[in-house]
Structure 1
């Protein structure tokens, strides 16, 4: 064969470069780093060839007719068919625009934009130093950002202590309590947490508010589909339980 994509032929099986790339791409990130090179691809090709050789030998020795193998295949087939039937039922569920809008109106409390804060902090290991830095910032002897670079032990120090924007539940309680109560733009007094002493400066905060339908549309669709899929599953299960009730036996241990 002259096809440059062709790499090997074992019996009727042809291994191509595309097969190798598919094998590389199926690996997790760590394994891919080991095999995503010329030598790694050679090892994958050798492994695929070895597998095909075992396959030819198994067919020649009629291992596909072995009783245990047949039982194993039937078990795999049954499990796959069960999952396929469930997936087919769930994938048939659809929602239209009217349904989504109605669901949103009836469940608005589920679709809110959570309260967020944008903040900076300076982290030091003792209260005396925290108070000293606080005093320097308040006296405008140093900017908050420069103080973060000079004193903070948090990796955010190189960004002037900037922690970005976050919602409730993402920081330790003592830190979060201050972030969501202190006035925007006001430097906090030292706040003790398990990590040390923080000076916190909130630069922006947004209150929790009701989402508009257009903004929540994707989440509405996902929630509604999950709801309808659950109803479809339970409905089908009730139907099948009733249909096969004569052969359904549940041992309650009595």
Structure 2
């Protein structure tokens, strides 16, 4: 397919292909704007401006100055380094068998991130908290009804439900109690924190069991690939130090 020439600056063509590739390299939040007709026209003007300045730079001999030559040398080294690293790393792979061996050696490691879902009733005094516990345990009062009636936390509107949370998201005393409970279990006595006295009920737990291999296979492969690449890179550097002359001063 013939590339459409959008502009010519000092004999240098700017084609639709160049414009498209420039847009593709933009961050997603900017790409959408420059894909519009107005955005493409604006970007084309920027590319024209770049070619004009480049043409003028050649005219005044910037490409002969030492700073320019030094920077170009550095850019060339960076491109060569990145291209070489891409070639080296592309030759390293991890298959499903490698991932399964790693999984079987330590299945507990891949249980997933632990989180719980809990509801609570927050009051100012331990005495009131014990009275509420008695209503729930002995009198059969529903936990969510008790939360709506007695709790001072805004979560009372949801029956005390705080949603899902992981480690480090709640104060330690509350977190330790919620994570220690089994699913559906309630604290047998009030839990004191800086906010008051809590009656806590854990309604769900996630990430506590051993994961299914198929669910974590790609995660393991990615982890193993990074390890293999780093090991290969470290060994390669040692080999290259022996192959090429290195003098530290």
Tell me which residue corresponds to 1:152: 153
Question: Cα 1:80–1:117, aligned 2, differ >3 Å: closer, same or farther?
Answer: same
Aligned: 1:120 with 2:108? no
- Deviation of 1:184 (Å): 3.9
The answer to whether the Cα contact below 8 Å between 2:92 and 2:225 also exists between their aligned partners in 1 is: yes
Question: Which segment drifts farther, 83-92 or 158-167?
Answer: 158-167
Separation (CA, whole Å) in 2 of partners of 1:160 and 1:36 = 48
The answer to whether the Cα contact below 8 Å between 2:99 and 2:220 also exists between their aligned partners in 1 is: yes
Separation (CA, whole Å) in 1 of partners of 2:231 and 2:129 = 61
- Deviation of 1:72 (Å): 0.6
Unmatched runs of 5 consecutive residues or more in structure 1: none
RMSD: 4.3
Question: Cα 1:54–1:190, aligned 2, differ >3 Å: closer, same or farther?
Answer: farther
Separation (CA, whole Å) in 2 of partners of 1:120 and 1:204 = 10
Question: Cα 1:180–1:41, aligned 2, differ >3 Å: closer, same or farther?
Answer: same
Aligned: 1:143 with 2:144? yes
| Deviation by residue 1:78-103 (Cα, 9 ceiling, x = unmatched) | 12322332232122101233323223
The answer to whether the Cα contact below 8 Å between 1:118 and 1:163 also exists between their aligned partners in 2 is: yes
Unmatched runs of 5 consecutive residues or more in structure 2: none
When normalised by structure 1's length, the TM-score is 0.69
The answer to whether the Cα contact below 8 Å between 1:8 and 1:16 also exists between their aligned partners in 2 is: no
Separation (CA, whole Å) in 1 of partners of 2:34 and 2:126 = 51
Q: Secondary structure at the match of 1:89?
A: helix
When normalised by structure 2's length, the TM-score is 0.70
Tell me which residue corresponds to 1:201: 201
Aligned: 1:210 with 2:207? no
Q: Secondary structure at the match of 1:210?
A: coil
Question: Cα 1:179–1:221, aligned 2, differ >3 Å: closer, same or farther?
Answer: same
Tell me which residue corresponds to 1:231: 231
